[in-house]
Structure 1
Amino acid sequence: MQDNVANFCDIPKAHARFGASLDAKNIKEDDDVYFECIIDANPRVSRVSWRHDNEVLWHNISGGVIVSNQSLVLQKVGRRQAGSYTCHAYNRVGDGMSNALRLDVKCE
């Protein structure tokens, strides 16, 4: 008997979340913040990007922004990093945007 499982192509489905060990409600200035982008895609994603308040974030180690595969790390955050973060996953069918995560940074 032949298995007739359809193999559909679609835009990626992305879901952003804070790193598992992070207490997202208690982030203070100078903390490091870790985000993950969970992606379901067929065909595979060719690129993932991150945005802060709809502005693309670029890998910038000296600026404390580390973009690696499906993760984003912000080192020593300050008040200016507060805001909305989304991940965007791209494949040959199109691009999918995740839910928005709100980062609030408290004063020490």
Structure 2
Amino acid sequence: LKEVLDVYASRSVEKIGFVRDRDDQIDAMYTSLFRELLTYMMEDPRNITPCTHLLFCAKNIERIGDHATNIAETIYYIVTGDQMPAERPKGDKTDKIVLPGTLPVK
């Protein structure tokens, strides 16, 4: 968030790539944490409640990164009058980790 505020204050489109890179890092950290917490929950059902709370916190932080990227892209448009060059694929693949019917039923 600080980086995107710096981009806004300086109107420096060169730094927008850094904001996008940071968002990719945040997405990767979220995906890693999601997998780890999912493992803890499957190992011991008593972990489900605390891990779920942590997942909500992590998801909200990941969304902040997405919003910061959207702000950076808007700043790019304000400064240059053009849209950002390439569409970015979503780095967060957690919706693909667990597919319906793939978890063993106990």
* Same fold flag (TM > 0.5): no
Structure (1/2) with the larger helix percentage: 2
Larger radius of gyration: 2
* Higher normalized strand content (fraction of residues): 1
TM-score, normalised via structure 2 length: 0.28
